[in-house]
């Protein structure tokens, strides 16, 4: 089993994620873009991180997040 990654408050993290089976599921239209941004915002609220930058391609996305220095509520 691999060791868990160290999360240091106040740092920026670069995330990238690919669609299932490398399929082109994120077509460039308004509905898909709105759904992606909504889900990303919900995840950021849930885990108390800030979104610095995101870009979505047809089969993957790149996102830079900022981990706030304070302890999030879900850690209690």
76 falls within a domain: no
pLDDT at 52 (0 to 100): 95
Q: Please say whether the beta carbons of 13 and 64 come within 8 A.
A: yes
Q: CA–CA separation, 67 vs 74, rounded Å? A: 14
Number of domains in the chain: 1
pLDDT at 36 (0 to 100): 93
3 falls within a domain: no
pLDDT-flagged residues of the chain (< 70)? 70-76
Q: CA–CA separation, 70 vs 74, rounded Å? A: 12
Four-point Cα dihedral 18, 19, 22, 23, nearest 10: -150
Confidence (pTM): 0.76
4 falls within a domain: no
Q: Which domain holds residue 43?
A: 13-70
Q: CA–CA separation, 22 vs 60, rounded Å? A: 8
1 falls within a domain: no
33 falls within a domain: yes
- Give me the helices (H) in the chain, please: 30-47
């Amino acid at each position: 089993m691999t060791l868990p990654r160290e999360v240091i408050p106040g740092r920026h993290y670069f995330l990238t994620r690919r669609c299932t089976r490398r399929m082109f599921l994120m077509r460039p239209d308004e509905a898909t873009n709105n759904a992606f941004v909504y889900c990303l915002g919900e995840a950021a609220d849930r885990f108390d991180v800030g979104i610095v930058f995101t870009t979505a391609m047809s089969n993957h996305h790149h996102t830079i997040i900022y981990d706030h220095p304070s302890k999030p509520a879900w850690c209690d």
